[in-house]
Chain A
Amino acid sequence: MRKIYYNLARTRKIDTRAFALTVAVIFLAVVLFNSITIFNLARQQRQSRDEKKEIRFAALKLEGLQQKTLRQQKEIDVWKKTWEQKLAFANSLIERKCFSFIFRLNFLEKVCSSGIRITQLSIVNEPAGRMQMTINALAQNELLGLYKKLLPYDLVIANENQTAENYQTNLSFKIKDEKK
């Protein structure tokens, strides 16, 4: 004979296992969220504390640096007033001492071919000074060859004339000392 069971409870019977599982899952989720929150905030706080410390240190250093810079700038200004003229004079002497006439003569020997004769040459020791010379060339192509070589040196050609025997012309150009 089949037994009949009656549930007389006022509310539904709870499945304890399912309930416990749900509670556990929710609880774990709560723990997980809170852990993440605490980790984030703690990390942020640590970072912020370190940075504050660094900023304080940097600010102190910066203040010292600014004072030092100001003091040094003032001293430099005083020195400049006293020494700048003497320094400029010494530098101009050194620059003129470094001006090489030999370098210029060697240069001329290199660019002038055997058919060219320099009859006059003038060199002045000035940074922007021009070399001036009068030359005689046996043939026009020799002359043109020299012009070509001197073109990069601000060449100015004046008074070119042709006689029965040769070509004569005045040239001027600028040449800088080679870097030592």
Chain B
Amino acid sequence: MKKNKLVVLALLVLLFLSAAGCLFSFVYVSFKDLSRQNRLKIFQDFKRQEKESQVLEKEYRDWQKLPGALQKFRKDNILSMDEFAVFRRDLDSRLAANQLQPPRIDFTFGNSMDNIKKISVKFSLEGSYRNLKKFIFDMELKSKMYFFESLELSANAATVKGAFTLEVYLGE
């Protein structure tokens, strides 16, 4: 009887210890889960930094391409000194095509910036509104880097007078 009691007692102690161990394992796992949240924060920080780095990488690649892109922009859009004559012919032909004849054309060479020289071209025209508008339209269509800086139109009885300032950029 005594032996049996001892056995039961031993088993009960074991049961108590096991139950305590089990409870402890749950507490331990919960505690670890809590500290896991902190580790997850580290991962989130890492992800954030990774995203920032991707943005910077994109900016880096853009800057890397910039010299080439500027070179291409210059080649495609800025008139060379040799092409200035082409521009002059083009301007004359656009004027003639729209039945416009400027009494005079003034060219003013300005300062250079990044080896690009600015030329102001001033002229006045008189004609129908339709022709003047068509001339403006034709000039705006051109891809080369010249554009109207300003225009002033005033209406006469049957015609429109216009004072035009055109900016032309020439690569040196």
Contacts and interface: CB of A to CB of B under 8 A. Distances in A.
B60 A117 contact: no
Contacts of A76: 56, 59-60, 63
B150 A72 contact: no
Contacts of B25: 36-37, 40-41, 44
B66 A87 contact: yes
Interface in B135-157: 136-137, 140, 145, 147-155
Q: For the complex, would chain A's binding face be called helix, strand, loop or mixed by DSSP majority?
A: helix
Nearest to B138: A102
Interface string A113-129: 00001111111110000
Given A76-B63, A102-B133, A119-B154, A26 B32 contact: no
B43 interface: yes
Given A102-B137, A105-B133, A122 B152 contact: yes
A5 interface: no
Interface of B: 1-2, 4, 7-8, 11-12, 14-15, 18-19, 21-22, 24-26, 28-29, 32, 36, 39, 42-43, 46, 49-50, 52-53, 56-57, 59-60, 63-64, 66-67, 70, 73, 77, 113-114, 116, 133, 136-137, 140, 145, 147-155, 167, 169
